[in-house]
Amino acid sequence: MKRRTLLATGAGAAMAAALGLPARAQDKTKVGFIYVGPINDGGWTQHHHHSAMEMVHHFGDSVDFVYQENVPEGPDAERAITQMALGGADIIFTTSFGFMDPTVNVAANFPDVKFEHATGYKQADNVSVYSARFYEGRAIQGTLAGRVTKSNKIGYIASVPIPEVIRGINSAYLHAKKVNPDVEFKVIWIFEWLNPAKEADAAKALIEQGCDVVLQHTDSTAPHQAAKEAGGVYTFGQAADMAEYGPMPRISSIIDNWSPYYIERVQAVIDGTWGSVNTWDGIGAGMVGIGEISDAVPAEAKAEAEAMRDAIAAGTYHPFTGPINKQDGSAWLAEGEIANDGDLAGMFFFVEGIEGDIPS
């Protein structure tokens, strides 16, 4: 168990007892979170905060919880992380990809503070990284999208061009194409994680282009509202269930479940066993959840998607299993070959069949 300095130790504690004075209990572990969006965004940040609150509930009075929301990626993030470290945080979770360099920079100045960065790849002695295999959930979404589309046009609202987002697009497309060879994908980049106005505009533009299924890797519920207003368009919850839009347009979701990880890592700080790790878990470990599939989906398609979910969880199916070619037609994975984590982590290409370029 981690021990912090006490006001009364040894003879001092005995003196306090003799005088009838209470001895001070062990200091709380101070846990901080830096969020890129508001805690009520309905998606990414809200679910990180929800998981953080489950962690707080687990530990009760033994932790002191602090957070800052709406922190822009870049220099503002470095200032916010520094202020939290100066405020006495023992461990700080920074929950957006663009917080990576600011986290590493601040960690170098506070070697006794533990840092946990979500979705990045840069580690240090006091910096861990963690992420979820969202592409597993995208495979299930793609399967459902390919089955329910009537126009054979599927739209995808993409946030920022990093491997995490590109993996998701590729996985969704491959699985939509597998069940429906006639599908085509239309991708719109908004270059932000959260911007409800841009997300709504992108959804409307995709719907105007004939897309009757819209997937998103953005944080708000605005695309669902746009789809609801249009009618006859299917959507999927992102990061959170977004069940308030079910059974239509939202027909399923990817749910981020960070709380077990947060509990484990805070416990390691309390126990004095914390070490830098790289964690990348998915459906099998429970870090990626699949929201209930709406009855608006045909029973056969629902069963097919659920079977894929179970196979991924059991490790008997991998979403990136060959044969798969790159967009230019060159071979990437041979028949039966499974992509390794290194290739997936650095993925910066579209697979064959997706039109358009990845922004540089």
In tens, the pLDDT along 74-97 reads 899 999 999 999 999 999 999 999
CA angle 294, 296, 302 (to 5 degrees): 60
Q: Given a cut of 70, is residue 347 above it in pLDDT? A: yes
Whether the CB-CB separation of 238 and 44 falls below 8 Å is answered with yes
Q: Dihedrals φ, ψ of 215, to 5°?
A: -100, 160
> How confident is the prediction for the chain on average, in pLDDT?
93
pLDDT in tens, 256-294: 999 999 999 999 999 999 999 999 999 999 999 999 999
| DSSP strand pairing (127-132 vs 288-290) | unpaired
Q: Give tens-digit pLDDT for 128-170.
A: 999 999 999 999 999 999 999 999 999 999 999 999 999 999 9
Any idea what the Cα angle at residue 63 is, between residues 279 and 258, rounded to 5°?
A: 30
pLDDT of residue 19: 38
pLDDT digits (tens, 9 = 90+) for 284-316: 999 999 999 999 999 999 999 999 999 999 999
Instruction: Tell me what pLDDT residue 26 has.
Output: 55
What does residue 62 show for φ and ψ, rounded to 5 degrees?
-85, -5
Q: Binning pLDDT at 50, 70 and 90, where does residue 7 land?
A: very low
Q: What is the tens place of the pLDDT at every residue in 31-48?
A: 999 999 999 998 999 999
| pTM, full prediction | 0.89
One DSSP character per residue, 90-138 reads SEEEE-SGGGHHHHHHHHHH-TTSEEEEES----BTTEEEEEE-HHHHH
Mean pLDDT of all residues in 13-29: 48
State the DSSP string of 30-95: EEEEE-SS-TTSSSHHHHHHHHHHHHHHHHGGGEEEEEE-S--SSHHHHHHHHHHHHTT-SEEEE-
State the average pLDDT over residues 8-14.
35
